[in-house]
A and B are shown apart, each in its own frame.
Chain A
């Protein structure tokens, strides 16, 4: 068996030698495109002054080019149109207004500095609270109340359950605006090929097929005229899933001027203009009965989605996901919710690792801790009384949860972190004036969303299925072409392991081809913890078809029954005997002696399969131990534990790496990272000296234990796990801080808990 082995990755051989090919490497030496960006958050464009000798593209040049308008087909959604380059009005500071082309990046920057944008500034709408105030100006005239989504749902029995409940516990949770901040900024290299009339766009993207559709639609060209390649991609975390208007301009210019041109964003642009994330405010009240059972939940969800809607998922995704997945791993039957996606004059939001679930989890886990205190039960007991225990379970929103280990992961985490021992230590520490705290976070992670799951959101473009094309060439080597598009997740290795087991070959004899619209079947790319589940499932199905073809040839060759064919170590043999034939020989027959194939068989060895499940839920319990320095407000994480269940792990080495990275981003979210706009809508945090991702010094050792649920919601047994670390960690850390500071009466419900913010809460609690 190759599945389950900690195999080192095939991807690394080139990356370790500096032989990876990232967009910036492909762009090296080609003409450069530099964007001139709006210096104000909102204003009317009066004039664009172009310096002498400069090649500049403005909205006027893009005649006939469409707009970007992602759609949801629902009554509570208002579509917002985004011009590729605006003609009349700018909507956020950093919005691309013009593009300069020059032979080198230096010259393009020089000219871009000389392009003068004459803009008449208008009062911008900055921040959620301002956008929702009754006298707020409208960001888009056709969007009343600045709400692009305003969705309501109340179960019929809500009031009856909510009103008489003896305990009503409210939490007011804010998660600040953050950036996925991949270490490689965005960029694209568009090259026109005169011999075919086609453009090849090499782009830092998580979804090459989706981007191709988007650009072809906006430019009004056949998709066949465009090839999109995702070469090595230096991290994405969601920021590289949605369409960059800059890529549209690059492809347009490559076609118009029959040239190769590249835009490579700098770090400042990545902060001002590349999709942001989070920026959510939830007001939630839980109604608990005398036993601490949650009987009803009321939620007011507000998401600041910025100036435009991201393609293809739309800005509705944050609010709608929060609405649908708010129940998390907890059982309650009555629910009243209002979810709004609020537009402001800020950089647009796109899904970032976990999307709304880090905030959902922080909300529920803060609620559980506060409820435990009010009702007088332990934080473990309140969770045990409310976690879902029977599967399949259908949530109040109609989601079906497959087999998971909610209680088991909680119990195991409590045991490993030694909760009782910690409480004693905490008591002793307090007598010495030392404030330590422990926080738990129990959550589920919906992964492997199929078409039916996305269709529930009424998306105009409904992602979901994944197709795999598999070929065995005449030498017996297997090529697997997938629509998923790995950018650090190690999919080439994991899928090879899976296919190797199915076909009885070695993983190094399986090559995964991805990230190229010319080479791979239409697929949805890599996002939402889907690739192992979906591309893995489709690979398994394709392998079965391949086996059937090989078995038929082998049975003929070995003069035995097809049912008796057994696949192992590169051969097919007759079960229970030594009679065998090498797979490479069967491949030769399929291609070169097709006259020997049985009547009706197609020559060659090519199959294709599609997998489209409804989805499956991973789960985990995180536990964090922190120490808070009262004087400085600094929070130090002393221990961080993850007990997680993602079903069968294809490659535990890679799986642990995903947990580490996710937790790091979750801790970053809880303690450090914040994008700050001033009252005029200018971003203040535009460098890595202002926006602070953690370094090795801030990261604790992460202890991981795996549990394994066997779920029939996924044919490989693998559940997704890419996002879980980022989903659970903020709640664990924030709960730990609250636990540490509870003796002082501090309640801290917003992140990041920077020293300044922690100090402010302490001072407020002490009445200073």
Chain B
């Protein structure tokens, strides 16, 4: 049986009909055509599928689409403002915080949410939060440098 769900992603409404078992990640990718959200493990460990739900980072592979009816969601496609990249995106570019780019959307969303909520977060706490996600290419060093640079930029 399919259910009608309205996904509110990056300010746009997507009316979709999905089975109850459809994960939020699959719904975002397949039903809404936003393929920037990636799936690395589908068991909630790698964090590549991280999106923001009401401003909080969630693993979209561990949520069902039917749980997210009408809730404001943000994905990587909503980070930039037209041609202007978000400070976190700019910092990842400047500091080589990505290589293959597969984990990148998840890290960008995770970093965005933490910097929006705790702009003055200290290094240790930041490392702890960023340890939620996996990257296989960078060894994390440049991701940390990038997020710290973005934090500075966002504090102004």
Give me the interface of A with B, judged by CB distance under 8 Å: 8-9, 11-13, 15-22, 24-25, 28-29, 105-106, 181-185, 232-235, 237, 266-267, 487-490, 653-654, 656-657, 660-665, 687-689, 693, 695-697, 699, 701-702, 725
Inter-subunit contact B34/A664 (CB<8 Å): no
Interchain residue pairs with CB less than 8 A apart (6):
A18-B77, A28-B35, A232-B101, A233-B100, A488-B101, A660-B139
CB distance from A677 to the nearest CB of B (A): 21
Interface positions, chain B 90-104, Cβ under 8 Å from A, are 92-94, 96, 98-104
* CB-based contact A184/B43 at 8 Å: no
Task: Tell me how far the C-beta of B143 lies from the nearest C-beta in chain A, rounded to whole angstroms.
Answer: 7
* B48 CB contacts on chain A under 8 angstroms: 183
Q: How far is the CA of A28 from the CA of B29 in the complex (A)?
A: 7
Given A24-B39, A695-B132, 20 extra CB contacts under 8 A: A8-B93, A8-B94, A16-B104, A20-B36, A20-B101, A25-B35, A183-B38, A184-B40, A232-B101, A235-B136, A267-B41, A488-B137, A653-B96, A660-B140, A660-B142, A661-B138, A662-B139, A687-B45, A697-B127, A697-B128
Name B100's contact: one of A13, A105, A234, A660 (CB within 8 Å). Answer: A234
A183 x B144 contact (CB < 8 A)? no
B65-119 contacts to A (CB < 8 Å): 75-77, 79-80, 85, 89, 92-94, 96, 98-105, 108
- Give the nearest-CB partner of B107 in chain A: A696
Asked if A9 contacts B137 (CB within 8 A), the reply is no
In the bound complex, residues from chain A placing their C-beta under 8 Å from that of B26 are: 105
Contact assessment for B34 and A18 in the assembled complex, using a CB-CB cutoff below 8 Å: yes
Asked if residues B76 and A183 are in contact (CB atoms below 8 Å), the reply is no
Q: Kindly list chain A residues whose C-beta atoms are within 8 Å of the C-beta of B140.
A: 660, 664, 695-696, 699
In the complex, the answer to whether A17 meets B143 with C-beta atoms within 8 Å is no
Interface centre among B79, B133, B134 (most CB of A within 10 A): B134
| Known interface pairs A8-B93, A234-B102, A661-B138; A697-B45 also in contact (CB < 8 Å) | no
State whether A12 touches B102 (Cβ < 8 A). Answer: no
Give the complex CA separation of A237 and B100 in angstroms: 11
Please name the residue on chain A nearest to B130 by beta carbon: A696
**How near does chain B come to A111, taking the closest CB pair, in angstroms?**
15
In the complex, are the beta carbons of B92 and A22 less than 8 A apart? Answer: no
CB of B149 closer than 8 Å to a CB of A:
no
Contact (Cβ within 8 A) A699 B139? yes
Q: In the complex, A677 Cα to B58 Cα: how many Å?
A: 33
Among A19, A25, A267, A695, which residue has the most Cβ atoms of chain B within 10 A?
A: A695
Q: Which residues of B contact A663 (CB under 8 A)?
A: 139
Task: State how many angstroms separate the Cβ of B126 from the closest Cβ of chain A.
Answer: 9
- Which residues of B have CB within 8 Å of A488? 99-101, 137
Known A11-B101, A489-B99: A18·B139 in contact at CB below 8 Å? no
| CB atoms of A106 and B45 under 8 A apart | no
A660 to B139, CA, bound (A): 5
Known: A235-B136, A267-B43. A22 touches B38 (CB 8 A): yes
B131 in the interface, Cβ–Cβ < 8 Å?
yes
- Contacting A657 at CB < 8 Å: which of B33, B37, B96, B102? B96
Chain A residue numbers with a CB within 8 Å of B40 are: 183-185, 234, 267
Contacts A12-B98, A17-B79, A28-B30 given; indicate if A183 touches B45 (C-beta within 8 A).
no
Chain B residues with a Cβ closer than 8 Å to the other chain, count: 57
Given A183-B135, A661-B138, A696-B130; A16-B100 close (CB under 8 Å): no
Distance in angstroms from B58 CB to nearest chain A CB is 17
Tell me if B120 is interfacial: C-beta within 8 Å of chain A: no
Neighbouring B residues of A106 by C-beta, 8 Å: 19, 21-22
Contact A234/B38 with A15-B101, A18-B105, A183-B136 known, Cβ cut-off 8 Å? yes
Q: Which of B33, B92, B135 is within 8 Å of A16, CB to CB?
A: B92
B15 to chain A, nearest CB (A): 17
Q: Which of A11, A24, A28, A695 contacts B131 (CB 8 A)?
A: A695
B22, B42, B103: the one contacting A183 at CB < 8 Å is B103
Judged by a CB distance under 8 angstroms, whether B46 is at the interface is: yes
Residues of B within 8 A of A183 (CB): 38, 40, 46, 48, 100, 102-103, 134-137
Q: Most chain-A CB neighbours within 10 Å: which of B21, B34, B98? A: B98
Name the residue among A9, A16, A22, A267 with the largest chain B CB count within 10 angstroms. A16
Most buried by B among A25, A105, A181, A657: A657
CB distance from B128 to the nearest CB of A (A): 7
A489 CA to B35 CA, complexed, in Å: 22
| B residues in contact with A490, CB < 8 Å | 99
Distance, CA A29 to CA B137, complexed state (A) = 29
Residues on B with C-beta less than 8 A from A662 are 139
Q: How far, in Å, is A29 (CB) from chain B's closest CB?
A: 6
Complex-state Cα separation, A489 to B134, whole angstroms: 18
**A665 CA to B139 CA, complexed, in Å:** 8
Give the residue name and chain of the A residue nearest to B29 (CB): A28
CB contact list, B2-24 vs A, under 8 A: 19, 21-22
Q: How long is the Cα–Cα vector from A11 to B99 in the complex, in angstroms? A: 9
With contacts A22-B102, A687-B41, A697-B128 taken as known, whether A654 is within 8 angstroms of B96 at the C-beta atoms is: yes
